[in-house]
Chain A
Amino acid sequence: MYSACKNSFFFQKPFVILPWIFTKKTMIKNIGFIDNSRLITESLVRAGADVFVGYPITPANLLYLYAGHRFPQFIAAPDEITTVQMMSGLAATGKIPVTATSFPGFALMIESINMAYMMELPMVIVLVQRLGPATGTATCGAQGDVLIVNGIISGGLAIPILSICNISDYWILPAKAVEMAVRMRTPVIILTSKEEVMTQHSVNLSTLPEVKKVKQEIYKSSEKYIPYEADENLVPKFLPLTTNEHQVRLTASTHDKKGIIQNTSDEALENTIRLHRKILHNMKDFCFYEYDSDPLADLVLVSFGITSMASKVAIKKLRAEGLPVSLLLVKTLMPVPLDYYKILEKYSQIFIAEENLTGQYRQFLFGNSLPSHIHGINKIGKMIEPEEIIAKIYSVKSLN
């Protein structure tokens, strides 16, 4: 059952981020009333992202707005294809670019993201989900692009996708995305949604932990530079086009280590396979999730993104009512850590809550022919409410 997921990887040390928001009112000092777009933007810049390229789209507007104030460099592109092309060009010169968009813009970006992936250029793309299909409803949130983002790299190669499940993550994970992009030389996608980036919260800003600037390592040897010769972590050393020391070749076509276009030579195919392995190999350091387990529970609720908070509330209420239940909030959405399966196999009933019609993450984890112990909690057009999660869990419990 669990082998259905081709993009699984194994990790040794789970990295669990602890929330930094204090719950006791008396501890609050410097309170701001802010949206998470503000935290995302600030975190990206502090981590070293230095140029924002964007085309405005609802509901990513606030990210665009803040980026204009905060990024050292801001470029208004005339469309989303140009956006990622410009980002790639800037990344090739040593910049760390960021953009924010929603599905209609993201759809246009896909070929160019493939190009950046093939050229091995770092960048962060914040995808703010809204209700589709097509133009759908621009001002309504959704979690409907889960399967799209996973499948964007032709050939099914792995691309890192992060989702955010609590306020502290809006500060920590964007910085992690920058680190991932630079260390793995890859585009990284942060999957979020309208309510996540536009709803305002009171936040204790005095407890924000330090965000360290990511250092981009540059090839320094006097020996001939071979652009796609990878190190032990399967990542090639980076050399920007600013260099006067060595020739740099970047290409979107199948290529050998020198960056010369090949048809299907062994070396070129090995390079293509390496792109996938590079992500799987290095993701062990970027596995983020929250697992709140109850030793007596035989059922587990899985969620991510905007539905995480409703899931937390639901779990609290269920426990208060005497039902032992565990909660797994996934932040590293894809490639999926094998540990998620290890956790889930402990439970006789699995509930997966996500704001889409078909249960996209559920399908991703378990395929289309679902075992009877896996249940979806789904909705479109409105956020899933804690009561709806509770009702579904009780309805299944009553049948078993």
Chain B
Amino acid sequence: MEKEFLTKDPLPFCKGCGHTLISQNTEKALRKLNYEHTDVILVTDIGCHGIIDKSFLTHTVHGLHGRSVALASGISIGLHGKNKKVIVFMGDGSATIGMQHIIDAAHNNDDMTVVIHNNMLYGMTGGQPSEFTPKGFKTPTLQAGATRDCYDVCEVVAAAGASYVRRITGIGDFSDELAEAFSRKGFSLVEVMEVCSSYAIKANPGFKLKDVVQKAGLHSKVYVDRSIPVFESVVKDKTRSLVDAEIFIEQKFSFSLDAPKKIMLAGSAGEGVQVAAELFARAAISCGLFATKKGSYPVTVGIGYSASQIILSPEEIEYTGFEYPDNMIVTSQEGLDFAAAMLKKMPESSLLFIQDGLKTDGCRAKIFHADFRSNIQSKNVSLVAMYQFLVHSGLIPAKAFLHTVSGSKIAEKTDIEKLFGITNSGPDTLH
């Protein structure tokens, strides 16, 4: 006895509905391919066709309007290597709202067959037109008929990279055509042109499916049938821990602070602000201190200001922000503009270490001007400024910073001592 894929219950569609034929032909095609029930995952969408899942004896997954292909992509990736067949049923309404998902799955060549039940209108909600409604085709809510050509989903999906694409005029037995699509590896799509018996016939007197399809310029044919690699998501057996010894910072130096110190480094994007701030914090940690670093920047990556707030402390740091810093390093006008409000709050006891030529009106902090920019590549400006600041202030030993920078990737391409202007004296002579 042949395996049944549909229950004995009557199918849940109106008399004369094209969906009935698709379900029956699908069952026939599955039989021809000799599948077991649990070999098949039928993913349905919202629309009249979506109520079919109760009739199928396969695994069934009933999702959201238009999203069935994206859902099926996840299922297909998760079932890789399990020898299962994923079939998606969707209507022309679902295909309209979910076109991006269809294109994406075709582009990836996700392993599934999508069967679009194209009755050229939204049946479940009262017969509104979809983007698949052909020019001149009338619906109950569009009595004058559609004024534009419909989507040709087969052309779109073939162009996107599908393995197999075919349009069928859904009359009679088309189980061989469906079976061919089901048997293909990768993304296959079959658009079945069919009839909504409740809305299409009444709105279009004398309706003949073949004539409508032909008039719309839609061809019932195979668009592509090619063997291309199926999308495969790599599953790694082992990945490296994000908290292994690689990221430990060795305590090479010994230095302490009496109280937490707040430092602000403000400059321009592309000038290494965040990197310099991080290396500074790492240097402080290598001295035995606690550190935090909080970045501020606009959404643009290589333009505009860039600033970093660093806190160093002999104790664990709980709150990572501050109203104003004890020390501010400013390397550019953009940095100064960003830091202006904070700068005004800095008291006399604080220090502003700033690029020559930048104006510091209204600043009460002690000001020290220096040049971080002459003959320095812009990407290194923040590093040089931080080093000069440490030599000047002794906030933490400059040699700790030199050591940290020398151990970083920057040192692979840059002579750090030369960059910092260290010529005739070794790092031991530094603070």
Which of A's residues lie within 8 Å of B, judged by CB?
Answer: 21, 23, 25, 28, 30-34, 38-39, 41-42, 45, 53, 58, 66, 69-75, 78-79, 81-82, 85-95, 111-112, 115, 119, 137-139, 195, 198-202, 205, 208, 240-253, 259-261, 309-310, 312-313, 382-383, 385-387
Contacts and interface: CB of A to CB of B under 8 A. Distances in A.
Contact of A241 (B59, B63, B243, B249): B59
Contacts of A111: 64
A202 B318 CA distance: 11
A309 to B, nearest CB: 5
B1 interface: no
B65 to A, nearest CB: 9
B36 interface: yes
Interface stretch (B21-29, B140-148, B231-239): B231-239
B84 interface: yes
B319 A309 contact: yes
12 contacts: A42-B243, A45-B239, A70-B239, A78-B100, A85-B64, A94-B78, A200-B294, A201-B320, A208-B243, A241-B59, A252-B62, A312-B319
Given A89-B72, A309-B319, A385-B323, A250 B62 contact: yes
Contacts of B293: 33, 199-200
Given A95-B78, A139-B299, A244-B38, A34 B243 contact: yes
Contacts of A250: 60-62
Contacts of A261: 51, 53-54, 62
Contacts of A32: 243, 247-249
Contacts of A91: 74
Contacts of B239: 45, 69-72
Contacts, number: 222
A86 B70 contact: yes
Interface stretch (B185-193, B211-219, B277-285): B277-285
Contact of B74 (A21, A33, A71, A86): A86
A85 B249 contact: no
Contact of B292 (A31, A58, A73, A200): A200
Nearest to B317: A201
Contact of A247 (B59, B237, B248, B282): B59
The 5 A-B residue pairs whose C-beta atoms are closest, nearest first, are: A89-B74, A93-B78, A85-B70, A86-B74, A89-B75
A70 B240 contact: yes
B282 A72 contact: no
Given A34-B247, A198-B295, A200-B281, A73 B236 contact: yes
A89 B105 CA distance: 14
Nearest to B288: A25
A202 B290 contact: yes
A252 B318 contact: no
B362 to A, nearest CB: 21
Given A89-B72, A199-B320, A25 B247 contact: no
